[in-house]
């Protein structure tokens, strides 16, 4: 009975914490008599409530910088009294200001701040037209509102049922750049779709935007039923797929077709017209032209030597996988469960070497207990 209850869909802790932080914000702003600042503060809370504290502070820092940028730009534009100008001037200033702001965010690599920063910019520039206060004071108030929301959202996320999506281990006092993380299966980012789901294991860089194809490489596990589904195109990318269980048929229009059994792979260009049929679970690696990557099955007793100039990670297919990492005189040991994903921190120009040992019992059906996924800069 208890197991059945656990399977019933219910709001997660992050949902509850988001609602709690927003409610506290509403109460506070109402008591202070400042309802005009409430929307931006609440938006900032929604943005800050990430699935890990580390992501919360990273997102908060970027959004704070974006808000300051939008507020500064809005104040400068507001000083020329644009609202008193002709409609043509008004439209030109709006257009140029938006272009400059987005371009600045792109240069600073804080693209995720564009929406909230532009909202601040528009409110500051055109707020006086709606009877709000002067641009400079409006900029200060709205920037402060956003900061309050980011801090409140971050504090609630960190202090109440603190999320633990990763275990951070292996910080070497001799070589502090070496460390690794373990993502437990039930904390991996999961995206539901009709007939199945996708678990995103890793995307690089950390502020990448998958939907806009603004990333260097991405590793994900997809599972479910596929009936004549057309795979999404990724111009300028290479797609590698390894089937973990089940059977699927990949049809690359005017290229080749292949039926994959367990632990067989297919490599194709992301720009190809590709359809897929079958049912199963597969791990995929998408890399752009700047990177090359591999998915390699490892057996028990594998011994590997790597440098931290290469991205290296391990996806466990069985329970009881023991991974040993030796860096200089320091050795770190972890026992991973099925579905766990261990990522070794890496640096594109790194030269330090380390050794990896995988210990586990090989399964009776000769299935590999762990996969190694690696990427290198071309």
Residue 228's pLDDT is 57
User: According to the model, what pLDDT value does residue 315 have?
Assistant: 94
Q: Dig out the tokens for 281 from the structure.
A: 């679970």
Written as six digits, the tokens of 56 are: 């919360």
Strands (E), the chain: 166-169, 180-183, 189-193, 196-204, 217-230, 237-252, 257-260, 265-269, 274-288, 291-298, 302-307, 311-316, 321-327, 330-336, 341-344, 353-359, 370-377
Beta strand 189-193 with 196-204 is antiparallel
As a whole number of Å, the end-to-end CA separation of the chain is 54
Token duo for residue 63: 């959004």
**Is the CB of residue 214 less than 8 Å from the CB of residue 237?**
no
Tell me, rounded to whole angstroms, the distance of Cα 317 from its chain centroid: 23
Ranges under pLDDT 70 in the chain: 1-10, 51-55, 78-86, 127-136, 162-178, 226-228, 346-351, 361-366
Q: What pLDDT does 169 receive?
A: 47
d(CA 156, CA 13): 11
Structure tokens at 325: 């990492």
Find, among 210, 163, 135, the residue nearest to 55 by Cα.
163
Q: Give the Cα separation of 127 and 146 in Å (integer).
A: 16
**Confidence at residue 13, expressed as pLDDT on a 0 to 100 scale:** 76
Q: So what's the pLDDT on residue 1?
A: 45
Q: For the whole model, what pTM was predicted?
A: 0.56
pLDDT at 166: 46
Question: Cα–Cα distance between 67 and 44 in angstroms, integer?
Answer: 10
- Are 123 and 76 in contact by the 8 Å Cβ rule? The answer is no
């Amino acid at each position: 009975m208890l197991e059945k209850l656990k399977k019933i869909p219910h709001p997660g802790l992050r949902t509850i914490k988001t609602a709690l932080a927003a409610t506290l914000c509403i109460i506070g702003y109402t008591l202070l008599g400042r309802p005009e600042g409430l929307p931006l503060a609440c938006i900032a809370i929604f943005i800050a409530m990430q699935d890990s504290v580390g992501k919360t502070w990273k997102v908060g820092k970027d959004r704070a910088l974006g808000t300051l940028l939008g507020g500064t730009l809005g104040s400068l534009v507001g000083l020329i009294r644009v609202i008193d100008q002709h409609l043509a001037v008004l439209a030109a200033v709006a257009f140029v200001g938006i272009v400059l702001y987005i371009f600045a965010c792109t240069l600073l690599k804080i693209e995720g701040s564009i929406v909230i920063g532009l909202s601040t910019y528009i409110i500051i520039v055109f707020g006086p037209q709606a009877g709000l206060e002067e641009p400079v004071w409006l900029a200060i108030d709205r920037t402060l509102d956003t900061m309050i929301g980011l801090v409140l959202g971050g504090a609630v996320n960190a202090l109440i049922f603190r999320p633990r999506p990763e275990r951070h281990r292996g910080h070497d006092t001799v070589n502090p750049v070496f460390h690794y993380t373990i993502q437990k299966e039930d904390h991996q980012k999961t995206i539901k779709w009709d007939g199945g789901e996708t678990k995103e294991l890793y995307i690089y860089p950390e502020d990448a935007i998958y939907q806009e194809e603004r990333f260097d490489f991405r590793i994900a596990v997809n599972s479910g039923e596929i009936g004549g589904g057309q795979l999404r195109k990724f111009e300028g990318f290479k797609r590698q797929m390894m089937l973990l269980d089940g059977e699927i048929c990949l049809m690359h229009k005017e290229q080749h077709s292949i039926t994959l059994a367990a632990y067989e792979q297919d490599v194709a260009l992301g720009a190809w017209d590709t359809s897929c049929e079958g049912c199963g679970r597969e791990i995929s690696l998408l890399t752009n032209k700047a990177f090359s990557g591999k998915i390699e099955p490892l057996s028990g007793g594998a011994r590997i030597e790597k440098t931290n100039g290469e991205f290296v990670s391990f996806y466990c297919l069985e329970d009881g996988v023991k991974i040993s990492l030796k860096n200089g005189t320091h050795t770190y040991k972890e026992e991973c469960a099925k579905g766990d994903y261990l990522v070794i921190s890496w640096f594109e120009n790194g030269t330090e070497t380390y050794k990896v040992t995988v210990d586990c019992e090989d399964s009776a059906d000769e299935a590999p207990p762990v996969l190694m996924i690696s990427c290198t800069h071309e």
